[in-house]
Amino acid sequence: KSLVRIAGAIVVITFIISYLSQGPIIAASISTIVGLVIGFSASNIISNVIAGMYLAITRPFSIDDRIKVFGEVRVVHDIGMLYTRLGLENGDEMLASNSSMVTSTVILKKEVEYDETAQRDAATA
């Protein structure tokens, strides 16, 4: 939704610049400056979208996995394009940017099930 708004704003700005400018050099200069401003301001969003695609392709963790990230164990509730929603121990939820999830150390906590035989064997060893 926000990408559609940004694209619409770019189209409108382009038409305004071409209408107000008297020559193609002025229009190109203004368009370049506007493009740089939009590019730098959207760099975090673009970074999070690329990180979201990376998480979707590599799948280092899944929904309902218990992971240790940012120093604590959390439950993955959702992996979106911009943010990963993590459940906290007190029931609250935390939104972590996907770029921070990609650059942080994430430990996947596995549930280990022991049967009685394995426990007896370990106790007698």
> CA–CA separation, 69 vs 103, rounded Å?
11
DSSP 95-119: EEEHHHHHHS--EEEPP----HHHH
pLDDT for residue 45 is more than 70 = yes
Domain 45-109 -> CATH class? mainly beta
Stretch 21-27: mean pLDDT: 70
Give residue-wise pLDDT tens across range 67-124: 999 999 999 999 999 999 999 988 899 999 999 999 999 999 887 665 555 555 556 6
Longest Cα separation, the chain = 90
Ranking 37-41, 56-60, 70-74 by mean pLDDT, the lowest is 37-41
Q: Which of the given ranges, 33-37, 44-48, 75-79, 113-117, has the highest pLDDT on average?
A: 75-79
Other CB atoms within a 10 A radius of the CB of residue 99 amount to 21
pLDDT of residue 7: 78
- Specify whether the backbone of 93 is left (phi greater than 0), alpha (psi in -120 to 50) or beta: beta
